[in-house]
């Protein structure tokens, strides 16, 4: 039953499934042992050992040596054990060579089922381990099906299926079967039926990775991303900085004639992207975060968790943004609650307050 052609077939299976030989042989040994026990009604523990270099295999049935009378065939009395092995002691495990000349078709089919189950499990575990390493990364995928607003993709270079829920999709973006898209790997979770890869196109992590892809200075660490916030399909705000005073982080991200940021915008299907130059001066940071609006003044609370931002009357709608989006994203980017007010609505304002900065004087 076991010959060179058989082991050659195992090598082909190893290459096809991208499994290591030890794992493949272990699965085969388990399957053959299960088939043998089922075929022969064997109660003893059966182990199979394959020898690829000799193109053969061996079956051994094991019994544990006990004191007194055995209760089943998995046990062996000390007296019986000494007939096999004179120096046998209580607790020893004694094996008997039970290698059959051949296995029946039913046993062979059982072995095949067990082997394939083990191999498939091993493949899932192996791929899941690979995907765990890709968590937080950008990958290319092909849309395979769309069901109840959930998009299922095949991740290129793996056998894993990615799941993109409705809240992980870009608002207004159209998806069609066989489309190639870039997705962000949010997490890999155990669904009970194996690992499930949760992917997204709506999270801020996608934008960070796109900038990393387009901007060599970010990849090298010369330019760093402080934070990124997003309302997918509408607007993203991302703040960047560099520890090198001779490097313009903002210009690096924009690129010559806007080529770098435009590449990111194109991948996001025209979503607006505001690149903010980070500064540790919170008032300045808040003002910059409200781009494209330019505030007149920022008044911080004592704990610096709240800011009143003053804008000219004609810039109020620009500062707030449609549905409050611009102000909302700015607050999330900086981590400070922001209230936007017009200059005309403010009276009795203390212009000399330490928390006030006249941004027109910059």
How many angstroms separate the CA atoms of 33 and 46, rounded? 6
CA angle 177, 157, 119 (to 5 degrees): 105
How would you classify residue 186: left for phi > 0, otherwise alpha for psi between -120 and 50, otherwise beta? Answer: alpha
Q: Which of 207 and 350 is assigned the larger pLDDT?
A: 207
Confidence at residue 357, expressed as pLDDT on a 0 to 100 scale? 47
How many angstroms separate the CA atoms of 276 and 344, rounded? 28
| Mean per-residue pLDDT over the chain, rounded | 85
SS3 218: helix
Q: Which of the four pLDDT bands, split at 50, 70 and 90, describes residue 246?
A: very high
Strand order in the sheet with 356-358: 337-342, 306-311, 297-300, 356-358
pLDDT in tens, 139-180: 999 999 999 999 999 988 776 789 999 999 998 899 999 999
pLDDT in tens, 261-303: 999 999 999 999 999 999 999 999 999 999 999 999 999 998 9
Task: Give the largest Cα separation in the chain, rounded.
Answer: 107
Tell me which H or E stretch contains 142.
strand 138-147
- Of 278, 177, 267, 170, the C-alpha closest to 214 is 267
The DSSP secondary structure of 156-208, one letter per residue, reads TTSSPEEEE-GGGSPTT----TT-EEEEEEEEEEE-SSSEEEEEESSSHHHHH
Confidence at residue 334, expressed as pLDDT on a 0 to 100 scale? 96
| φ and ψ of 163, to 5 deg | -115, 125
| Alpha carbon distance, N-terminus to C-terminus of the chain | 86
CB 46 within 8 A of CB 33: yes
How many angstroms separate the CA atoms of 270 and 235, rounded? 9
How is residue 55 annotated by DSSP? T
pLDDT in tens, 84-112: 888 888 988 888 888 887 666 655 666 66
- Lowest-confidence segment of 32-41, 185-194, 220-229 by average pLDDT: 185-194
Residues in the chain: 362
How many angstroms separate the CA atoms of 313 and 340, rounded? 11
- Lowest-confidence segment of 1-10, 30-39, 274-283, 317-326 by average pLDDT: 1-10
Confidence at residue 68, expressed as pLDDT on a 0 to 100 scale? 85
Model pTM score: 0.66
Domains and CATH numbers, the chain: 4-130 (3.30.1480.10), 142-200 (2.40.50.140), 203-278 (3.30.300.20), 282-362 (3.30.300.20)
Tell me which H or E stretch contains 299.
strand 297-300
């Amino acid at each position: 039953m076991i010959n060179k052609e058989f082991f050659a077939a195992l090598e082909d299976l190893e290459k096809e499934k991208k499994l290591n030989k030890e794992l493949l042989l272990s699965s085969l040994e388990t399957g053959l042992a299960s088939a043998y026990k089922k075929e022969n009604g064997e109660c003893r523990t059966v182990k199979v050992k394959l020898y690829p270099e000799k193109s053969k295999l061996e079956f051994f049935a094991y019994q544990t040596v006990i004191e007194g009378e055995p209760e089943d065939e998995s046990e062996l009395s000390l007296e019986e054990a000494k007939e096999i092995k004179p120096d046998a002691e209580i607790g020893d495990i004694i094996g008997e060579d039970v290698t059959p000349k051949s296995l029946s078709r039913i046993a062979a089919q059982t072995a095949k089922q067990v082997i394939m189950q083990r191999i498939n499990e091993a493949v899932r575990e192996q791929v899941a381990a690979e995907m765990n390493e890709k968590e937080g990364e950008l990958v290319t995928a092909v849309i395979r099906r769309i069901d109840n607003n959930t998009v299922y993709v095949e991740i290129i270079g793996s056998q894993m299926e990615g799941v993109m829920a409705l809240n992980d999709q870009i608002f207004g973006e159209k998806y069609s079967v066989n489309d190639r898209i870039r997705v962000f790997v949010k997490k890999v979770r155990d669904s009970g039926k194996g690992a499930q890869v949760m992917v997204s196109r709506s999270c801020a992590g996608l934008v960070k990775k796109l900038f990393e892809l387009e901007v060599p200075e970010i990849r090298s660490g010369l330019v760093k991303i402080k934070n990124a916030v997003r309302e997918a399909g509408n607007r993203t705000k991302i703040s960047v900085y560099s520890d090198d005073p001779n490097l313009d982080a903002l210009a690096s991200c924009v690129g010559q004639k806007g080529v770098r940021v435009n590449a990111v915008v194109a991948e996001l299907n025209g979503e607006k992207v505001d690149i903010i130059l980070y500064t540790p001066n919170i008032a300045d940071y808040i003002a910059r975060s409200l781009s494209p609006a330019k505030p007149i003044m920022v008044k911080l609370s004592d704990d610096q968790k709240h800011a009143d931002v003053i804008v000219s009357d004609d810039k109020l709608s620009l500062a707030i943004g449609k549905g409050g989006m611009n102000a909302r994203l700015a607050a999330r980017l900086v981590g400070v609650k922001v209230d936007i007010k017009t200059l005309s609505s403010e009276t009795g304002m203390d212009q000399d307050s330490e928390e006030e900065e006249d941004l027109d004087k910059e």
